[in-house]
Amino acid sequence: MLAQLLFVLISAAAIWLFARNVKKIRRNILLGKDIDRSDAPAERWKTMAMVALGQSKMMKRPVAGFFHILIYVGFVIINIEVLEIVIDGIFGSHRILSFAGGLYNFLIGSFEVLALGVLSACIIFLIRRNIIHLKRFSGTEMKGWPVSDANYILIAEILLMTAFLTMNAADYKLQALGVSHYVKAGSFPISAALASILPDNITALEVIERVCWWFHIVGIFAFLNYIPYSKHFHILLAFPNTWYSNLNNKGKLTNMASVTNEVKAMLDPSFTPPADATPGRFGAKDVTDLTWVNLMNAYSCTECGRCTSNCPANMTGKLLSPRKIMMDTRDRLEEVGNNIDKHGKDYQDGKTLLGDYITAEELWACTTCNACTESCPVNIDPLSIIVELRRYLVMEESNAPASINNMFGNIENNQAPWKYSPTDRINWINQ
C-alpha cells in the first residue's frame, strides 16, 4: 500500500514538473514574431508523417540512420510496456495485461528484442562519439555541456534498458520457481539468457526484481524531466517542427512587408501605407526579432551536425556552423526566458543574439546554398536566421564588407552588381 502511494506521488510530481517546463518552453517559443504556417494542412500532415514519423531523411547516412531507427522504434514500442508498469504501480498488481495470453507473450518477447536493439545502438553511438571521435560531433560549439548532454542521454538509455532486462530475468526465474505473486506470463528470449547469472535465492530475486522495477520506472520519470533541459527534446518537437516547416521552394526568401510599404511610398508619393503597419526593426538583432518557427527550430535541434558537415563554408574552415546558429539561438532564448522569470518581462540584460552569440564573420561566410536545410532530418531552417541577422547588419547598421557595399552601389547606379554602363548591356550580341 505504501509502495502504491509512493508510486502515485512520484508519478504525479514527475508529470507536474514536466508540464511546467514544457509550458515554459512554449512561452519562450511564443516570444517570437508571428508567422502564418497554417496553409496546406494536407501537405503538412504528409510532411510530418514522412519526415518525423517515417524518419525519411535519416537514412541519407545509413549507419547512423539504421541505429537511430532502432532506438526510435524501440522507444515508441517499449512505451506500451511502460503503460502496464504504471497500472501495476498504481494498483499493486503484477503484469496486469497478461490476460492477453499469446499476444502478451509475443509483445513482451518483442520488447526484449527491441530493448537489446536500443542497448546495442546506444553503445555503438557512445563508441562513435567517444572512441572513434567522428568529426561530425566536434567543432567549436561541441564543447562542454553539448558533449556531456549527448553522453548522459545514451548512458541513461543504457541503464534503463539494462534495468528492464534484469527485471525480466528475475521475473522469469521467479515464475519458474512458482512464487505465487509472479504469475506465469510473458516470453523472455533475451533475459532468459541473463537468468543464469542471477542468484537462486527467492528473496534475493524478489529484491532484484523490485529494485530494477523501481529503478526503471523512476528512471523514466527522471529522464522525462531531463528532456526539457536537453537536446533530447527533439523527440517531441520533431513532430510540430516538421508540420510547420517551410513548404515553399527552398530558394524563396520572404519579401519583407515593412520594406514593401517604404519602397512603394518612395516610388509613388501618393501611396499611403496601411494603418496597421508597424515600423519596428529591420531584420533580427535578438531572438525576439525572429519568428516563433525559428525559435521552435532551435528547441528541435538535437545537434547531430548533419547541417554543419554539409556546409561548404564550414568544410573549408570558415567560422560558420549552421548547428552553432541553432544552438546559439536556443541558448540566448533560454537566457531571455530566465531573465523574464527572474526580473519580469521588460527586463533588458544588454545582450543580443547578434554580437554576443553570433558574429558578423559567421554570417558573411554563408553562400545561402541550402545544404543545411536539405540535410536536417527534422527540417530546421538555419538559413532564414542567417538572412534575418544579415538584414539587421545591412539595413540597421550599414555594417557590410566594403566589397558588398560596392556591389550595392553598382546596382543602385548602374542597375548591375558590377561597374558597367547600362548601355553596354547588349554588347554580347556582337561579341
Partner 1 sequence: MNQLHIKTMADYMAAGEEPEILFWVGCAGSFDERAQKITRAVATILTNMGIKFAILGTEESCTGDPAKRAGNEFLFQMMAMTNIEVLNAYNIKKIVTACPHCFNTLKNEYPGLGGTYEVIHHSQLIQQLIDEGKLKIENGEAFKGKKITYHDPCYLGRANGVYEAPRAVIEQLDAELTEMKRCRTNGLCCGAGGAQMFKEPEKGNKDINIERTEEALALKPDVIAVSCPFCMTMIRDGVKLAEKETEVQVLDIAEIATKANGWS
Footprint on this chain of partner 1 (rule: CB under 8 A): 60, 248-253, 255-256, 259-260, 262-264, 266-267, 282-283, 310, 312-313, 315-320, 361, 364-371, 374, 387, 390-395, 400-401, 403-404, 406-408, 411-412, 415-418, 420, 422-429, 431
Q: For residues 154 and 126, is the Cβ–Cβ distance under 8 A?
A: yes
Q: Which 3 state secondary structure label does DSSP give 405?
A: helix
What's at 119, amino acid-wise? L
Question: Cα separation of 163 and 174, whole Å?
Answer: 16
Q: How far is the CB of 311 from partner 1 (least distance, A)?
A: 9
Smallest separation, CB 421 to partner 1 (Å):
9
- Measured from the Cβ of residue 184, the count of other Cβ atoms closer than 10 Å reads 10
- What single DSSP character describes residue 358? B
DSSP class of 100: G
Q: What is the grid cell recorded at 366? A: 554563408
Q: Which is nearer to partner 1, 121 or 386 (CB)?
A: 386
The torsion angle over the Cα atoms of residues 211, 69, 324 and 234, rounded to 10 degrees, is -60
Contacts (Cβ under 8 Å, ≥6 apart) of 431:
none
Q: Residue 206: what residue type?
A: E
Nearest distance, CB of residue 60 and partner 1, angstroms: 8
Of 22, 37, 45, 48, residue with least CA distance to 291: 37
Q: Comparing C-alpha atoms, which of 394, 340, 387 is closest to residue 29?
A: 340
* Residue 247 Cβ vs partner 1, minimum distance, rounded to whole Å: 12
Q: Which is nearer to partner 1, 295 or 386 (CB)?
A: 386
Q: Give the CA radius of gyration of the chain.
A: 27
131/429 with CB nearer partner 1: 429
Q: Indicate the residue among 230 and 352 with the shorter CB distance to partner 1.
A: 352
Please, which residue, 166 or 309, has the CB nearer to partner 1?
A: 309
* Rounded Cα gap, residues 168 and 183, in angstroms: 13
Q: Smallest distance, Å, CB 393 to partner 1?
A: 6
SS3 content of the chain, % helix, strand, coil (to 5): 70, 0, 30
Minimum CB–partner distance for residue 350 and partner 1 (Å): 24
Kindly tell me which of 173 and 306 has the beta carbon lying closer to partner 1: 306
Is the distance from CB of 354 to CB of 286 less than 8 angstroms? yes
Q: How far is the CB of 314 from partner 1 (least distance, A)?
A: 9
Closest to partner 1 by CB, 43 or 349? 43
Q: Least Å distance between CB 402 and partner 1? A: 9
Our CB check for partner 1 shows the closer of 96 and 360 to be 360
